[in-house]
Structure 1
Amino acid sequence: MKFLRYLFFCVLALTAVNAFAQSSAELKRKRDKLNEELQQLNDEYQETAKNKKTTLKQLNILKAQISLREEKINGLNTEVRLLGNQINENTNNVHSLQSQLDQLKKEYAAMIVFAYHNQSAYNKLMFVFASQDFNQAYKRLTYLQQFGTYRQRQAESIQGTQHELKVKINQLDRTKDEQNNLLKDQEKEKQTLGKEKNSQLEVISDLSKHQGELKQQLRDAQQQKAKIESQIRVAIRREVEEARRKAEAEARAAAARAAAERARANAANPGSAPKEAPVAAKASTNSELLNATPEFAKLSNDFLGNKGRLPWPVANGVITQEFGLTYIEGIKTDNPGVDIRTSAGAAVRAIFSGEVTSVNNISGTYLVVVRHGEYFTAYANLKSVSVSKGEKIGIKQNLGTVATDGATGETQVHFELYKGQNAVNPKLWLASQ
């Protein structure tokens, strides 16, 4: 039972260590990713700051920086908490090992004393010969041999425990150093966050002095997004109407077949009551129409099943404007998707397999709409496209390259996601980076 309890404890400790290692490695990976994105944003902000005229792009970059910085600080908090738990666990292990070592040394000292008092070969022989019979003599001889072996094992256990204790103490010291470094990094990030928030206030203050220009920038952006949204809805409506046309054609064909069947039945039995025509089916919903075929129904189900795990439309990017209503200095803007800042010339890729339903040129940049059953994804602000309407595509297949605004130098893709004709927040469907 003692062995089983010890084995259970070892398995439990190993599982905890593995879980800690996995979570710690994942947090470090995310931290490195955030550092990379923050460095890119900082480089881009420094480039825009060279322009004496404050632009909306500067504000968007600062907002993205602040969001990422807060995310990094939250990640550091989690790392510090995990390391704190690890320090407590290692401290308990050190105390446990120290207690084991003290007990082993105590037992070993007692054996040494006993061995000293019975070190004479004469005493050992007398101990064996004083046995009442041969069986007892054999047992006493075996005991003396086992005692020597046990004493050797105890010495080895002491050495092993001392080594393990040393390893745990070194591990504890490294964990404490790592925690201290993270705390310093955390404090540094908080100071940087404060500076970025002050810069944001300065940019907002400067922009507020040029309300007319700011409103014009926002109006231009909204007009462009309105054109994109209009084209997306046209493409979706066309798909719904095509599905409805096919459904109605199939219904008419089925009705014609039923009528012919009734006519044949009535002709074969003229004396019987004529069969009545079946009641017409109710008009299907858009969801039913878009999932009318087994292929599209499966595609919709697979798309829904991957909610929160879908890849991003670009390999590396940062959301600079979120989905829905936002206010900038009291000016309301409505974003039907998300704007993702990325590197110049980056490839734009499909987030899931499907069929290209539309490729349009909007004010010099391209819009690609892809159907995934009853779901639709739209990729706007593309400089070039590498797919065509009606083409079947796979997940992460390149659709084209993102365009860079010549006036502002801003490189971002506008991404929208629809369930039927209703826009939904794409961020809820994309995997966390």
Structure 2
Amino acid sequence: MNRFLYVLFFSLCTILSFAQPSDKQKQLEEQKAQIQKEIASFRALLNTEKKKEKSVLAEIAEQKARIRLSERLISTTAKQKRLLEDDIYLTQLQINKLNRELKVLKDDYAKMIVKSYKSRNDQSRIMFVLSSQNFLQAYKRIQYMKQYAGFRKMQGDEIQEKQETLSVAKTKLESSKAQKEKVLKESEEEKALLVNQKAEQEKLVKSIQKDKKKYMADISKKQKESNAIDKEIKKIIAEAIAAANKKNAAKTGTKSSGSAKFDLTPEGKIVAANFKANKGKLPWPVEKGYVYSRFGVHPHPVYSNLKIENSGVEIATEPGSVARAVFEGEVFQIQVMKGTNRKILYIQHGDFITIYQNLESVIVREGDKVTTKQNLGRIQTDASGKAVLKFLVMQNVTTLNPEDWLYNM
């Protein structure tokens, strides 16, 4: 019985290990699908922008974004390849082990069948029982013959189970090998594209070297404008925190803490906890698009001594596209940029705030409750035909990296 349970447990574990796909492999597939979706959006946007006049700096930024996508795709396929190679190696070891065990089982079973054949005569079985010295011995011999027959059946079942497991393993091995070939082909194709993209970028970079001072001045100006907007955003949030805390203090009859953080109500704490629990799972603030500029401090793609600081993530999308809420919350501010028609939308999620910058129009109002993926407003389209949404995530007045919060970014 113990042997039977062991065999059953081993067989089930082996079958499950072959049947269930690797979680890591599945995760890499999802990441690759997202990158390929971004690349498709890039190509679609590139086709719509061909007839539009673009600056060289905008073209370089686009090439930089495309190169980054290619490098991410190559890196992901390389990880897939390593996982598949490990999987192929372990599966082959398992097949070898199963073949050895199957051979032993078949040899044992063959010997048992031969022995059984020699003693197949019913008379010899009866004589075996009748020759017993007493009733107890006769009973034990009958039980032995039953157990012997049962053991033969169990061995036959074990051989069949191992053959089925072996068949599953061989199918899995062939599938992994085919998948590895596919991944290798995709990687080689993307590497060839990357070489071409880098060559094109070098040409564009050379074309603006003669006007270096002019371009550097333009870049510095835009960076100052961006920094000024970031400063204004933090000021607005700080004022909103002070007003909210003062209002809560008046309701409860307590003194305002004067803290730079929201004094959350029990309901606000639940919303904040739910938002935090969805870190890395939030939907993108646009339906389609690609990352045009990443979060953080980066060297400029042309002038490496010039640093570009981005407080959020910029996502390029199709003209006419709308921004959508990444999580349920409440609209607490709609800011109109001075001297422009551009708007910035602030949505509160407890002590977390998501900010949608560069909106042409807004279809929600202050105080509105919004749901996940609800449309918020149309993104402004620039002269080149590109709509770029700048998306920020903040906790109180602390700027967070949106790429850590959005799914597969």
Deviation string, structure 1 residues 328-368 (Cα, Å, up to 9, x no partner): 23344332322111233333122334332322333222221
Residue of structure 1 in register with 2:402 after alignment: 426
Q: Which residue of 2 aligns with 1:24?
A: 25
Deviation for aligned residue 1:385: 0.8
Alignment of 1:144-223 (within 5 A): 144=145, 147=148, 150-151=151-152, 154-155=155-156, 157-211=158-212, 214-215=215-216, 218=219, 221-222=222-223
Q: Among residues 314, 320, 325, which one is paired with 2:297 in the alignment?
A: 325
How many residue pairs get aligned? The number is 403
State the shift of 1:414 in Å: 1.2
For CA contacts below 8 A with separation 6 or more, give which structure has more relative contact order: 2
Unaligned runs of 5+ in 2: none
One-letter code aligned to 2:348? R
What's the secondary structure of 2:237's corresponding residue?
A: helix
CA distance in 2, matches of 1:117, 1:18: 42
Instruction: Give, in angstroms, the shift of residue 292 of structure 1.
Output: 6.1
SS of alignment partner, residue 108 of structure 2: helix
- Superimposed CA distance per residue, residues 360-385 of structure 1 (whole angstroms, 9 cap, x where no aligned partner): 33322222123344443321111221
1:34 offset after TM fit, Å? 1.6
| 1:309 to 1:164, Cα distance in 2 relative to 1, 3 A | closer
State yes or no: 1:343 paired with 2:310. Answer: no
In structure 1, the partner of 2:332 is: 357
CA distance in structure 2 between the partners assigned to 1:408 and 1:122 by the alignment: 98
How far residue 25 of structure 1 moved from its aligned partner, in angstroms, is 2.8
SS across alignment from 2:107:
helix
% identical aligned pairs: 30
2:41 aligns with: 40
Say whether the 8 Å CA contact 2:364–2:376 is kept in structure 1.
Answer: yes
Residue 378 of structure 2 is aligned with which of 394, 401, 418?
Answer: 401
Tell me the amino acid that sits aligned with residue 295 of structure 2. Answer: F
Displacement, 1:107? 1.7
Larger Rg: 1
Amino acid at match of 1:196: Q
Match of 1:379, SS? strand
Task: Return the alpha-carbon distance in structure 2 between the equivalents of residues 2 and 301 of structure 1.
Answer: 50
Indicate how the Cα distance of structure 1 residues 333 and 96 shifts in structure 2: closer, same or farther if over 3 A, else same.
closer
Q: 1:416 aligns with which of 370, 392, 405?
A: 392
Whether contact under 8 Å (1:48, 1:58) holds in the other structure is no
CA distance in structure 2 between the partners assigned to 1:17 and 1:156 by the alignment: 20
1:220-369 map, 5 Å: 221-222=222-223, 225-226=226-227, 228-229=229-230, 231-243=232-244, 246=247, 284-287=258-261, 290-291=262-263, 293-296=265-268, 299-328=271-300, 329-330=302-303, 331-362=306-337, 363-369=340-346
Residue type matched to 2:289 in 1? G
- How do 1:39-58 and structure 2 match up within 5 A? 39-45=40-46, 48=49, 55-58=56-59
* TM-score, normalised with respect to structure 2: 0.82
Alpha carbon RMSD of aligned pairs, Å? 3.6
Q: Which moved more, 1:298-307 or 1:416-425?
A: 298-307
Q: Secondary structure of the equivalent of 1:193?
A: helix
Q: Which moved more, 1:190-199 or 1:16-25?
A: 16-25
In the alignment, structure 1 segments of 5+ residues that lack a partner are: 255-280
Aligned equivalents of 1:144, 1:355: Cα separation in 2: 78
1:389 equivalenced with 2:353 (yes/no): no
TM-score, normalised to structure 1, is 0.78
